[in-house]
Chain A
Amino acid sequence: MKYLLISALFMGGFGCSSYYDSLRPATADPDCIQRLKPRGIDSSWFVARVDVVGKHLSGLLLVKELEDRSTRLVFTNEVGVTFFDLEFLQDGRFEVKKIIEPLNRKVVIETFRDDFSLLLGYPFKGDLKGWWNKEERYFGIANGKERTYFTTGSECDSLRSLEAGSARKLKVSITMNGGVQRRPERIIIRHHTFNMTITLNLIDKNA
């Protein structure tokens, strides 16, 4: 029984450890930040798949940057019906231009807002700080309980991920593969506090 309690406390201790505990402050390398800082996505169409708590939704997502530097995200189903049309102004302000009734819920809208804001790099527009752990360099902001980072390797060779979380927990991570930074071939937005993943695959309109 004693060992069981010790084990439980030991395991419990692990359970309470913070995801970002190993991060140590580091110089915010301006060259590295300049090279890899997320700056949004070039206008593109993606095949979008959303898996959320056992439900699956698919369609097409248009990311379009307009001349005034605002960005629109329009999600339609394959047959062409528009599900939502979201707008981010240049300064990051957010507006829902259109959303169909089943999706018109505060929690859904705020989740999309936060995920796409991170993808488009709005949290990284101000002054950024630096951190490091054994393998990765982190750049971003630690604002109160909120943490927003982009990560790279020790050589600052490529953008590895975008992350948002609290001081203790990783909440959302975004990874991008293939293509170039502003036009990745595949984007995966993964939630770590509940079961939700958005997968975006770039469409070659000339295929």
Chain B
Amino acid sequence: MSRHRCICTVVLSVLLSSLPLLVAGQYPGYQTVKDPDAFRLSFGLATSKVRSIESDFLQEKVLLALTERITSKGKFWFKRESKVRMDYLTPFEYKMIINGDNVYFNDGQKETQVNVRSNRLFQQVNRIMIECMQGTILESKEFDIRAFENGNSYLIELKPLSGAFRKIFDMIILIIDKESASPEVIRMNEPSGDNTVITLTNKVVNGGLSDEIFAY
């Protein structure tokens, strides 16, 4: 019995000592946040100060098995509480505006307005998008959440718990700039291994945005 306990202790110590290496291997340069509760509080406080974001964005969709990728670029706006606008400018034009429960799309040929309450999945996607921007995503009950950090940024890993959402996304990864408490990278991993990475650049945080930007 004591021999068995001894083996268990050794295995456990090896596992525990290798944990930082495993984590570092998963996200090079990042360590697990030391105090998740304290992090949750300070993160929530910092992100609540973000009133608006205006930036360019670069989106890269990678189809792993087909060795294909397509890159698109555009403009991004966020205004608290729940307004998001993305204008895709190249290589195609497309506009998406989220304003509360309403989403507006314009693909250059047709304008569409949807109330997300009419579709549960749509509502879920809308809420996640807004919560990612607001920084309230850590409070979400829809994900298994892990947080990591380095000197400049937080990395938040979100694993969907619900069946419908898990069929679409295997994991969502957010990289949040510590200084501005605003998102820098949103990565959406699909179960197939395909992924989409949206990187925000030339960010202006709290520069003030008119409500008209989100009108349609």
Contact = CB atoms under 8 A, between A and B. Distances in A.
Given A79-B196, A204-B91, A62 B68 contact: yes
Secondary structure type dominating chain A contacts: strand
Contact of B192 (A60, A82, A207): A82
B66 interface: yes
Secondary structure type dominating chain B contacts: strand
B6 interface: no
Contacts, number: 69
A207 B66 contact: no
A35 interface: no
Interface residues of A, number: 29
Nearest to B93: A47
Nearest to B163: A101
B110 A56 contact: yes
Given A78-B72, A78-B92, A80-B188, 7 more contacts: A43-B68, A45-B70, A100-B167, A101-B167, A203-B70, A204-B91, A206-B91
Interface of B: 59, 61, 63, 66, 68, 70-72, 86, 88, 90-92, 94, 96, 105, 107, 109-110, 112, 164, 167-168, 188, 190, 192, 194, 196, 198
Interface of A: 43, 45, 47, 49, 51, 56, 58, 60, 62, 64, 66, 72, 74, 76, 78-82, 85, 98, 100-101, 199, 203-207
Ranked nearest first, the 4 interchain pairs of A and B with the lowest CB-CB distance are A80-B196, A58-B107, A207-B91, A80-B61
